[in-house]
Amino acid sequence: MKQTEFLTIVMPFKDKLFRMAKRLLVSTEEAEDATQEILIKLWSKKNKMDSYNNVEAFAMTMTKNFCLDRLKSKQAGNLKLVHSNYTDSSTSLQGELEAKDSISWVERIMDELPEQQKMVLQLRDVEQYEYEEIEKLLDMKPTAIRVALSRARKTVREKLMEKHNYGIA
């Protein structure tokens, strides 16, 4: 496989790899490093790419596993889960601050979720993956995905309601 073919296949989902890494790792720099490592690994497997049913799903699985391994490593003691892929320069300063505050609250709530719920919520609601794709990526049964997603959404909703209704009788 030539470089142009590789780029044609991989570049359309490169940003998804980055967002997944960003969801799992603390900083943009860590996510960029992880994305770069995955792209290097994909390049080293370029001759086997035709044998994969879905290169994007394979790459997302590689990213998830790489990031989780990174989080488990001794050098990752100071990493935590963070995510923000919201930028809209057309909003007012107040609207932007409110949006960032809301995202910050959702991030904190997501940090408290069990790992499986966090991953399902990220893949389905942030990355917009289909249930079948999540099933392959996380090696879960469809029922388990729906239950984890339902529980994660319910927890986020309840915590946000607590925050917004705090002090209201």
pLDDT at 168: 53
Distance CA 145, CA 124 (A): 10
- pLDDT at res. 96: 73
pLDDT the model gives residue 26: 67
How high is the pLDDT of residue 82?
46
Which residue in this structure is represented by tokens 């209201």? 168
pLDDT of res. 101: 75
140 Cβ contact list (under 8 Å, min separation 6):
116, 120, 134, 148
Indicate where the chain has its CATH 1.10.10.10 domain(s).
93-169
Give the largest CA-CA distance in the chain: 65
pLDDT at 68 (0 to 100) = 82
Q: What is the pLDDT of residue 85?
A: 45
CATH 1.10.1740 intervals, the chain = 12-82
pLDDT of residue 110: 84
Q: What are phi and psi of 36, to 5 degrees?
A: -65, -40
This prediction has a pTM of: 0.52
- Distance between CA atoms of residues 142 and 27, nearest Å: 31
Fold for domain 12-82? Rna Polymerase Sigma Factor; Chain: A (1.10.1740)
Count of beta carbons in the 10 Å neighbourhood of residue 8:
11
> How confident is the model at residue 91, as a pLDDT?
52
CATH class of 93-169: mainly alpha
* Residue 40: alpha-carbon gap to chain centroid: 20
Token reading at 144: 């388990």
Block mean pLDDT (10 aa), the chain, length 169: 84 90 82 92 87 88 87 56 46 70 80 89 85 89 93 88 65
